[in-house]
Amino acid sequence: MGSISRAAKRAANLKASSVWDVHHEALRRAREGRPVTVLSVGEPDAETVGGVDEAGIAAIRSGAGRVYGDAGGQLELRQLISQKYEKDYGLQIDPRRVLVTAGAQNALFQTMLTVLDEGTEIVIPDPCYVTYEPTVVASGGTVVPLPLRADDSFRITAEAVEKKITKKTRGVLINSPNNPTGAIVSEQDLNQLSELCRTRDLWLISDEVYSDFVFDDKKHIPAAGIAESQESTITINSTSKMFSMVGWRVGWAIVPERLINPMMAVSEGMLFGLSRISEAAALKAFSVDNDFQALRAEYSARFRVVFDNLQGVPGIVPRKIGGGMFALVDISGTGMSATEFAWKLLNDFDVSVLPADSFGEAASGHVRISLTKSRETLKTAVEKLAKCAADARAATRVDGQVAVVGKNDKYGSVLVCRDRLDSSAQQWYTNVFDLIRENGAGVLRVKEWPCEDVSDVTAAVVWNPPPGLLASLPKLRMVQVLGAGLDGIMQFVSELDERVMVCRLVDPIAVERMANYVLAAAMDHVRHRAYTRECQQRTKWDTGVGPESISSTTVGLLGLGEMGRAAGELLARAGFDVLGWSRSRRIPDDDLFGIRKRFVGGKDQLSELLSSSDVVVCLLPLTIETQGIIDKSVLGKMKTGSSFVNCARGAHVVLNDLLEALNSGKLRSAVLDVFEEEPLPKESPLWKHPKVILTPHIAGYAGEASAANTVVENLSRLARGEKPLFTVNVKSSNYQLTDFD
């Protein structure tokens, strides 16, 4: 079959989600008469507001089904929607800016088709509703996920969003209250997001379909209420939740005046008018006084039933919410994935919930519970959920201790080795080890080295293990190194079986901190930081040296792993010209955001980067081939007056060659965070060198909690029979070329 008759790429690129499989199976069983409690979809159980159904029937009888509707909706309906904003929030919304759509999903799709060009990007918080991405992809765009943290109440901040903005970014999509987390964007955060979008010429798209479901002392702040940002804000809402009108499919978008005609054109091409029948029902809904306060109180009470009855259940952590129609529950402590748990709950207890994995990485290990049933029904359902959790934990026990998940009948113990740790970071390692024990409780069986019995150890967590330790573990399958580099275990590679997986620690907090450090170091060059610091020490007032242009400053990155790529993107957003050099092309060019040109290969390719860069940054892994790579020959190829930054390992640099380059004037300055001997000896000439800026190995300092969570996740993956993250084949003769950049 030829390519013409195949599905278009934009359709083929849409990812089919299995998120609804459990829900559809629950509905099938319910149709067969089985007593299934369906908590896997957000269909309100409240009666549709008074007179709506009758208004729809009257419209049918009056012939509304025989005529086309208006593309943007009847003016009367748009006026009523505008009046709701005036009544609820005191806002004056021009009815012409209210465009009625076939539901909020249709409003979102029309919005994306209107504001996105092929290849552009939208920043969307993770977790988010599962249908967001398809509307972006089908419109030619790309979703840039912004991971949110449960321990920070899934808060979205302008600072975090700004780090995701590139030249391709067209907007930010937020959802408050959020589905599935129930998080509410605060007034302060909304104002800052709005200001960011306004100043960066981006769209702020606010999905507010749960705006009437805000609990307790919380309040919903409409994005449309920020007067200064009217021209950059699009609000999306719907009658589905507030009026229990899911099936009528009536939503709307509030858009700036300049988008009215373009979006009307999209609507005409997509729908050619709305259903007059649905519009008649919506007109009635907006004309009736509705007791949203009672509705909010009821949903808040339902959430308390779920939360209170799951508090303290082993393996279960209910998340607090600010509003919405759902409760998000962490079930990772049961030893099952969210999908496995949801199927077990349906099969064994006739309750359906939604696995939240498809809502984003940040929702992994969670299930979403709909609050659209009575308190009594919810109480019974969560009691069954607690029993399901107990059964799941019992099914994954080994010798009385929870150890494994999924394909785990042969899973053994995790050996934690605190020996031979870096003295300069002793407390950090100690805290991380303690957190691994704490966070892994209920999932992992942990042993502490030294111990007598290591016969069942399948995973070891180490930094610089004692000689012979790894060789003494007959069932070893994985070594988790507590560092981004592997220099602590390279001398023990010969001890490892070919099948043993070695995993680096790539911590998101460390990656972010490293990128920030590199940006600051590049700014040190632009602002002549080493020289001005020397002038300060000498009480010298020199106005002859001013800041240089960022846009004309080229930064060359040696190493394009996770930290190198993050640094490159941040530098590019700040306006620097960025080059990169890597040993291999393992990372696709499309993933190198902000890096203008990439050089791949040996030192011949490195030469061009060195001669073109004003700042050279070393972010390479320490291997046999990269040890001492920054020597006289490399430094000699750098531009005269350039700066060198080392955030990788001290052994990359031949110190005497670096000092010679600094003393001769070849280099303007050096920013050094790592040293061959740490702590740096007091007699080192680097301490008092006027052209050197020192920091005590803090550039990419990993967060203790996030590092421990990453390790526990990797150990859990091993237990489930899944491939751990950030594995490296250290036994391969060319691993430097295939696993590192």
The 10s digit of each residue's pLDDT in 694-732 is 999 999 887 777 788 788 888 887 877 777 888 876 654
Instruction: Spell out a b/e string for 158-175, using b for 16 or more CB atoms within 10 Å of the CB, else e.
Output: bebbbbbbeeebbbbbbb
Distance CA 25, CA 12 (A): 25
What's the rounded Cα separation, in Å, for the pair 204 and 64?
A: 36
Q: Say which residue the tokens 């594995």 belong to.
A: 727
In sequence order, what are the residues at sequence separation of 6 or more whose Cβ sits closer than 8 angstroms to the Cβ of residue 13? 137
Contact between 432 and 446 (Cβ < 8 Å): no
The Cα 77–Cα 62 span in angstroms is 18
In 3-state terms, the chain is what percent helix, strand and coil (to 5)?
40, 15, 40
- The CB-based long-range contact list for 472-477 (8 Å cut-off, 24+ gap) reads 473/415, 475/412, 476/500, 477/501, 477/718
pLDDT at 400 > cutoff 70: no
Q: Left (φ > 0), alpha (ψ -120 to 50) or beta: where does 125 sit?
A: beta
> Which range, of 122-131, 280-289, 434-443, averages the lowest pLDDT?
434-443
pLDDT at residue 662, as a whole number: 97
> For residue 697, which of 487, 419, 423 has the smallest C-alpha distance?
423
Provide long-range contacts, Cβ within 8 A and 24+ apart, for 254-259: 254/85, 254/93, 254/97, 254/98, 254/99, 254/224, 255/97, 255/99, 255/111, 256/97, 256/230, 256/231, 256/232, 257/94, 257/96, 257/97, 258/231, 259/114, 259/115, 259/234
- The confidence score (pLDDT) of residue 230 equals 86
| Domain layout of the chain by residue ranges | 413-505+703-738, 508-694
- The answer to which of 20-34, 295-309, 477-491, 611-625 has the lowest mean pLDDT is 477-491
The rounded distance, in Å, linking the Cα atoms of 660 and 655 is 9
Summarize pLDDT for 350-380 with one digit per residue, the tens. Answer: 999 999 988 988 888 899 999 999 999 999 9
Contact 668, 693 (CB under 8 A): no
User: Is pLDDT above 60 for 135?
Assistant: yes
- DSSP states of 540-567: ----S--PPPSTT-EEEEE--SHHHHHH
The helix-helix angle for 260-270 and 104-115 (nearest 10°) equals 120
- The confidence score (pLDDT) of residue 1 equals 44
Tell me the pLDDT tens digit for each residue of 600-618.
777 677 999 999 999 999 9
Question: Which H or E run contains 513?
Answer: helix 508-526
* Whether 256 contacts 225, CB under 8 Å: no
Is the sign of the CA dihedral 317, 329, 512, 465 positive or negative? Answer: positive
- Out of 23, 598, 649, 668, the active site residue is 649
Catalytic residue chosen out of the listed positions 78, 302, 697, 720: 697
Q: How confident is the model at residue 574 (pLDDT cuts 50, 70, 90)?
A: very high
The stretch 625-637 carries a mean pLDDT of: 93
User: In a 3-state reduction of DSSP, which class is residue 121?
Assistant: strand
DSSP state of 703: P
Q: What are the tens digits of pLDDT across the range 511-542?
A: 889 999 999 999 999 999 999 999 999 999 99
Residue 424's pLDDT band, with cuts at 50, 70 and 90, is low
Q: What is the pLDDT of residues 207-237, one digit of tens each?
A: 999 999 998 878 899 999 998 888 999 999 9
Burial label for 518, CB within 10 Å (0-12, 13-18, 19+), is buried
Beta pairing class for 615-618 and 642-646: parallel
Which pLDDT value is given to residue 334?
Answer: 86
Mean pLDDT of 564-577: 92
Q: SS3 for 683?
A: coil
Q: Would you state the pLDDT for residue 12? A: 67
Which token pair is 633?
Answer: 């020959």
Can you tell me whether residue 511 is helix, strand or coil? helix
pLDDT classification of 642: cutoffs 50, 70, 90: very high
pLDDT at 408 over 70: no
Report the percent of the chain where pLDDT is more than 90. 58
Average pLDDT over residues 387-407: 55
720 catalytic, yes or no?
A: no
- Residue 103: pLDDT above 60? yes
- Bridge partners, residue 143, by sequence: 122
Quote the pLDDT of residue 189.
94
Q: Is the full-model pTM beyond 0.85?
A: no
Q: What pLDDT score was predicted for residue 393?
A: 79
Is residue 697 part of the annotated active site? The answer reads: yes
Given this model, what pLDDT does residue 741 score?
Answer: 35
The amino acid that residue 529 corresponds to is R
> Is 710 in contact with 703 (CB distance < 8 Å)?
no
What order do you get walking across the sheet with 366-370 strand by strand? 317-318, 326-330, 366-370, 354-355
Most confidently predicted of 412-416, 471-475, 493-497 = 471-475
Higher pLDDT, 426 or 74: 74
Question: Are 413-505+703-738 and 508-694 in the same CATH fold?
Answer: yes
State which amino acid sits at residue 23: H
- What's the rounded mean pLDDT across residues 628-640? 96
pLDDT tens-digit readout, 186-213 = 999 999 999 999 999 999 999 999 999 9
Residue ranges of E strands in 583-719: 597-600, 615-618, 642-646, 667-672, 692-694
Per residue in 57-78, pLDDT (tens digit) is 999 999 988 888 888 999 999 9
Q: Give the chain's radius of gyration (CA, Å).
A: 29
Mean pLDDT for the chain overall: 87
Looking at residues 539-549, what average pLDDT do you find?
89
Q: Given pLDDT bands bounded at 50, 70 and 90, which one contains residue 738?
A: very low
The CATH number given to 508-694 is 3.40.50.720
CA angle 376, 378, 383 (to 5 degrees): 100
Q: Which fold has domain 413-505+703-738?
A: Rossmann fold (3.40.50)
Q: Which residue has the higher pLDDT, 87 or 590?
A: 87
Q: Does residue 402 have a pLDDT over 60? A: no
